[in-house]
Structure 1
Amino acid sequence: MQRTALFPGSFDPFTKGHEDIVLRGLRLFDEVIIGIGRNTRKERYFPLELMTQLIEDAFRDQTGVRVISYDDLTAKVARNEGARFLLRGLRNTTDFEYENGISQVNRAVYEEVETVFLITSPHLAPISSSIIRDLHRYGQNVDEFLPYPLPSAY
């Protein structure tokens, strides 16, 4: 039986910390689906289509990784994709408090789903998408935080 995990997030942008969780997740799962969720309450900084392409390019040589986008409840997407696991990274206790509540709700929606938390690698813990967006917005080079080069138009 194939062990499939859905790694959900807005990934705006997808960082080296996210990449680390995917690569470590592949040691546990046969397939990791990177699910870019659309949040109607948030306006994206980087277009969804661009981020999808950049993530696909970053993992083009890696078997067992697939990228999707979705506009639905994460637990329903996991069920529809055949994923019995949700993969999440934790940088700190604040992340745990937030993710713990979400994991309980996901179990209420899809009883068979288990959330697996991986602790972020220490050297990547300070990286967050919001910090990277702020740096980029004010003209700072963010390449060292991303597993792909940003197009010059961004």
Structure 2
Amino acid sequence: MKKIAVYPGSFDPVTNGHLDIIKRASKLFDKLIVAVLYNPNKKSLFTFEERVELLKEAVKDLDNVEVDSFSGLLIDYCNEKKVNAIIRGLRAVSDFEYELQMAQMNRQLNPEIETVILTTSTKYSFISSSLIKEVARFKGDISNLVPDVVLRKLNKILCGGD
């Protein structure tokens, strides 16, 4: 049986912290699906299509990683894709309570799907997409915190640069 995991998120934008989790999770599973959540009620800097494309570019060198998208319940998406595990990243203790609640709800909805929590590497533990956008708005240096493709797109959107 093939071990398939999904790493869901809004990825607005994808950061090097996300990529760290993606790379590490890809070593644990035969296939990793990075699934971008489509939520029309959430205001994002990047369009849904841009987030998918940025992720595809960022993970193009990882053979067993696929980028996809979904809306609705994650567990329904997992059932459709025959996923064995949900990957979640944990940056700090403050993230734990939310992740625990989500894991328990997903287990209630389908006890066959495990939640695997990977702790973020220390050098990325302070990064969040929100913080990246805030620093970028004020032209702070985020070049070592996001993939190059994201940096270029952020500069173009927020700063009018190339």
- Shorter-normalised TM range: over 0.9
1:140 CA displacement: 2.9
Specify the alignment match of 2:160 in structure 1.
Answer: none
CA displacement 1:18-43 (0-9 Å, x = unmatched): 10001100121111100111234311
% of aligned pairs identical? 36
The residue number in structure 1 matching 2:12 is 12
Q: Which runs of 5+ in 2 are unaligned?
A: 158-162
Q: How does 1:1-154 map to 2 (within 5 A)?
A: 1-149=1-149, 150-151=152-153, 152-154=155-157
Q: What secondary structure sits across from 1:146 in the alignment?
A: coil
Task: Find the aligned partners of 1:80 and 1:94 in 2 and give their Cα distance.
Answer: 31
1:141, distance to aligned residue in structure 2 (A): 4.0
Contact 1:76 1:110 in 2 (8 A): no
Q: Which amino acid aligns with 2:57?
A: D
Cα distance in 2 for residues equivalent to 1:139 and 1:45: 16
Q: CA deviation at 1:74?
A: 0.7
| TM-score (normalised: structure 1) | 0.93
The 10-residue stretch of structure 1 (40-49 or 110-119) with the greater mean CA deviation from structure 2: 40-49
Give the paired residue count. 154
User: 1:128 is matched by which residue type in structure 2?
Assistant: S
What amino acid does structure 2 have at the position aligned with 1:32?
L
**1:66-114 alpha-carbon deviations (Å, 9 max, x no partner):** 1111111011111111111000110111111110001111112222110
4+ residue segments displaced more than 4 Å: none
Bigger proportion of residues as helix: 2
Matches of 2:52 and 2:31 in 1, distance apart?
17
TM-score (norm 2): 0.89
